[in-house]
Structure 1
Amino acid sequence: MPPGTPTPSRHYALLLFADYGHIAPTLGVARELLARGHRVTYVVDERFAPVVTDCGASAVTYTSARGDFYRAADPNPDRLARDGYDLLVDTVRTVYPAALDALAGDPPDVVLYDFETVAAGRVLARVLGAVPVQVCPSHAANEKFSLRAQMWDPGHPLMAEGARVIIGFMGEHGIGLDEMGRYGAEWDTRNLVFLPRAFQIEGDSFDDRFAFVGPTSGEPEPGLWSPPGDGHRVALVSLGTEAGDRGDFFRLCAEAFPPADWHVVMTLGRGSDPAQLGPLPAHVEAHPWLPHPAVLPHADVFVCHAGMGSLMESLSYGTPVVALPTAHELVLSARRLEECRVGRALDRTALTAERLAGTVARLLADPGTPAALAALRDAIRTAGGAPRAADLLETWATQDPATPAAG
């Protein structure tokens, strides 16, 4: 294409897990694509339609059968397996038909999907002749590192049942056993990863099939929050957008930060009621939700559940993290914080105010923390973000769907 030739308008479709933490990392990319004159369609749980349409994209909606996946306070392996199986069935029996019905008459050039929508996303791309792209809101997987192996017990009976569901679904669309290895792999030939390579587990083992573009969100709106101006340190505390009722945890955090030294900002989860916490000390403010980038530039520490969106926001501003993961890949991310010397991990089941206070003090006193934070912040800021992701998607949209991505 000669220099200066406008890029043809393309259509991009996204099939993502019904969770804000999976949708939010893609919104910056969607905005960038829309600004370049492309069209973007999300196939999304109806609860998230306003988030999608607010950024200018179109929404094809369905009602997710998602249970407590990622939300249970103390998820056990059996519950995780059951929720995972139900989610798989939902993606092939509800999400895929909704996507095909809506997009068959207006096929996308590219279908983006994530770890939990692999089967539906890849089959949809095949049926519609689109380029498949896997997006990774958390750690990517390759031949050396398997996120699936970290999360799922291969011996659980529901794993075999899930395999039968996938084989049946693939067979319904003409995909034989000889092809199923490619369609069932944990990664694709084109992968967008919303973290920097420096934070990826086994990051040096990933090749050019993986583009580590880092987080893609922009700067927060001005005036959403201002520090109190009393010179006290600021602690931000959150368990994510869908944390649910964790009143005991938040009250414990209020005790861990003494009013003589700290001002504490808490975000309790969308739809929560701060009044349910009861009276709070004067140095603590609680919000149902507040965009964390409004607070993080002023924060000395972030106490959170180790969700990747929260971690990337915090590390983008050079704010150290005390992570309190429950299960799933959150434990791996918390461990990675410690390996990178930018945070500490704590067991939430044995948490006390004294232990949290001591961990924060040791983290902030560690002489290696500032340099490690600066290095990771620079890695995030040079990863390319939404503009690089959009550049790649524009290039991939021109390629043969069956051909591996170039470079």
Structure 2
Amino acid sequence: MSAFAATPRRHVAVFVFADFGHLSPTLGLTRELIRRGHRVTYFVDHQYREVVERTDARAVVYTSRRGAFAKVPDADAARMAAEGHDLLVESMERVYPLALSTLAADPPDLVLYDFESFPAARMTAHTLGGVPTVQLGISHVSNEVFSLRRLLLDPDAPSMREGGEALMRFAGNNGLAPDGLARFLREWDDRNLAFLPREFQIEGTTFDESYAFVGPTVTDPDGDVPWSPPADGRRTALVSLGTESNRQRDFFRTCADAFDGAEWQVVMTLGREADLAGLGDLPPHVQAHRWLPHPAVLPHADVLVCHGGMSCLMEALHFATPVVVVPQGFEHTLTARRVAELGLGRMIDRDRLTADTLGAAVGDIVADPEIPERMAWMRASVRAAGGAARAARLLEQWADPSASTVAT
């Protein structure tokens, strides 16, 4: 019998970076954990309080200094390193004291966290007596063979050195023994939960049983959705840069111009705070929304045009919708190349995006006779990964400190 089964109500603490793309993959798992009788406490930026509380989890909030992190297209390695340093400092100086003061009287049985939150999460688990931890793979996960951070960050940047020194001080000041330092600083954990299927993971065959590739959890939209598929036989294209990327008018105008209104209906989601009027007049076949739940559109869509964020991409693959990826940063480029490598769509460099290049990429997808078979294979892989139900079962097993790391 698992630890969770023996004690019906267990407590799970979740630490995630202040970005909706990091939060959203965890929400289905949280709903499943709560459905199974457990409690979940999040440490999140204040703007996500409502979305967390809608799952019936507890939200303990702070105001992140994140600023424009990851919102600027093609941020260079130095900028990424500098902003990564700021995240480390925030995790150590703001999130960790908040978590410790919150959890001291109500310690969790398990700590979940994304890599960006590791200082606060791992140190909280250590300080509270060695609570089991699980690292969440929001994007591609890392091991000895493939490391996203080694590719993403410049190890010689001054901010990287400063960050390392800050982490060493943090570890020492909080009583972490020298023999535990390597594990504390490691890019992965003894137990890792990835919200993508192994088949999509870069170098996926090199990951051992300490990694569980559970895929996404895609749920039906709540309430009425202000959109319906065209009734006249036209194809549908969904265009999105995610929930927060709403400043790139030229991108959306280019996409509006790329599709022939006689053949296509285009649905755009610009971001929750987007200025819809800023796009100007749109042709009748183009609809612009601040946000629509993508699972309402993707079952009817013939293509998704996106930046390569893992959440929206996994939703597309869940519904076997091919993708044109226009990456906005280095991590997105890795994902876009993986899409092209697996034959699930096309990649267009951001500086090469025009109405003509997008139209040509979409035309290639529509005309490619092998796309349906490849999409069906990936859809089967996504759905077979197990989603929230499998993830919750694993967490019930991993909550026991003596449990095996093997992902089953």
TM-score normalised per structure 2: 0.96
Does the aligned pair in 2 maintain the 1:254–1:284 contact within 8 Å? yes
Does the aligned pair in 1 maintain the 2:272–2:291 contact within 8 Å? yes
After superposition, where does 1:202-221 map in structure 2 within 5 Å? 202-221=203-222
Task: Tell me the equivalent position of 2:12.
Answer: 12
SS in 2 for 1:199: coil
Cα-to-partner distance string for 1:143-190 (whole Å, 9 max, x where unaligned): 111011111011111111110011111111222333211111111011
Cα-to-partner distance string for 1:258-281 (whole Å, 9 max, x where unaligned): 111100000001111211111100
Task: Tell me the equivalent position of 1:340.
Answer: 342
SS in 1 for 2:25: helix
After superposition, where does 1:250-265 map in structure 2 within 5 Å? 250-265=252-267
SS in 1 for 2:324: strand
Cα-to-partner distance string for 1:337-357 (whole Å, 9 max, x where unaligned): 011100111111221100110
After superposition, where does 1:164-203 map in structure 2 within 5 Å? 164-203=165-204
Task: Tell me the equivalent position of 1:159.
Answer: 160
Does the aligned pair in 1 maintain the 2:74–2:330 contact within 8 Å? no
Task: Tell me the equivalent position of 2:138.
Answer: 137
Tell me, yes or no, if structure 1 residue 46 matches structure 2 residue 46: yes
- Give the letter for the 1:157 counterpart: P
Distance across 2 between alignment mates of 1:153 and 1:299 = 39
1:303 is aligned, of 279, 302, 305, to 305
Which 5+ residue runs of structure 2 have no aligned equivalent?
none
SS in 1 for 2:212: strand
Tell me, yes or no, if structure 1 residue 291 matches structure 2 residue 259: no
Deviation at 1:107, TM superposition (A): 0.3
Tell me, yes or no, if structure 1 residue 229 matches structure 2 residue 231: yes
Q: Which is further off, 213-222 or 59-68?
A: 213-222
Q: Which is further off, 16-25 or 322-331?
A: 322-331
Does the aligned pair in 1 maintain the 2:78–2:154 contact within 8 Å? no
Q: Which is further off, 222-231 or 90-99?
A: 222-231
- Give the letter for the 2:173 counterpart: E
Tell me, yes or no, if structure 1 residue 238 matches structure 2 residue 211: no
Does the aligned pair in 1 maintain the 2:398–2:404 contact within 8 Å? no
Task: Tell me the equivalent position of 1:321.
Answer: 323
Q: Which is further off, 68-77 or 179-188?
A: 68-77
Does the aligned pair in 1 maintain the 2:237–2:302 contact within 8 Å? yes
SS in 1 for 2:199: helix
TM-score normalised per structure 1: 0.96
Deviation at 1:126, TM superposition (A): 1.1
Tell me, yes or no, if structure 1 residue 123 matches structure 2 residue 123: yes
Distance across 2 between alignment mates of 1:182 and 1:251 = 48
Deviation at 1:7, TM superposition (A): 4.7
Distance across 1 between alignment mates of 2:360 and 2:201 = 28
Task: Tell me the equivalent position of 1:109.
Answer: 109
Tell me, yes or no, if structure 1 residue 28 matches structure 2 residue 15: no
Distance across 2 between alignment mates of 1:6 and 1:35 = 16
Distance across 2 between alignment mates of 1:217 and 1:376 = 15
SS in 2 for 1:295: helix
SS in 1 for 2:265: strand
Q: Which is further off, 384-393 or 119-128?
A: 119-128
1:371 is aligned, of 370, 373, 378, to 373
Cα-to-partner distance string for 1:57-95 (whole Å, 9 max, x where unaligned): 001010101021110133222322221111110111011
Task: Tell me the equivalent position of 1:277.
Answer: 279
Does the aligned pair in 2 maintain the 1:221–1:294 contact within 8 Å? no
Deviation at 1:326, TM superposition (A): 1.7
Tell me, yes or no, if structure 1 residue 349 matches structure 2 residue 389: no
Q: Which is further off, 81-90 or 35-44?
A: 81-90
Does the aligned pair in 2 maintain the 1:190–1:404 contact within 8 Å? no
Alpha-carbon RMSD? 1.5
Distance across 2 between alignment mates of 1:290 and 1:257 = 20
SS in 2 for 1:286: strand
Deviation at 1:223, TM superposition (A): 4.2
Tell me: CA distance 1:131–1:368, structure 2 relative to 1, closer, same or farther (3 Å).
same
SS in 1 for 2:64: coil
Distance across 2 between alignment mates of 1:319 and 1:297 = 8
Task: Tell me the equivalent position of 2:405.
Answer: 405
- Give the letter for the 2:169 counterpart: G
Q: Report percent identity of matched pairs.
A: 54
- Give the letter for the 1:206 counterpart: F
Distance across 2 between alignment mates of 1:254 and 1:186 = 41
Does the aligned pair in 1 maintain the 2:78–2:153 contact within 8 Å? no
Does the aligned pair in 1 maintain the 2:146–2:202 contact within 8 Å? yes
Cα-to-partner distance string for 1:272-294 (whole Å, 9 max, x where unaligned): 12111111000000000111110
Does the aligned pair in 2 maintain the 1:192–1:389 contact within 8 Å? yes
Distance across 1 between alignment mates of 2:168 and 2:41 = 28
1:267 is aligned, of 241, 266, 269, to 269
- Give the letter for the 1:15 counterpart: F
- Give the letter for the 2:170 counterpart: F
Cα-to-partner distance string for 1:99-140 (whole Å, 9 max, x where unaligned): 111111100000101110112111111111311110011001
Equivalent pairs counted in the alignment come to: 404
Does the aligned pair in 2 maintain the 1:67–1:83 contact within 8 Å? no
Distance across 2 between alignment mates of 1:7 and 1:179 = 30
Q: Which is further off, 189-198 or 177-186?
A: 177-186
Distance across 1 between alignment mates of 2:107 and 2:313 = 35
Distance across 1 between alignment mates of 2:127 and 2:359 = 55
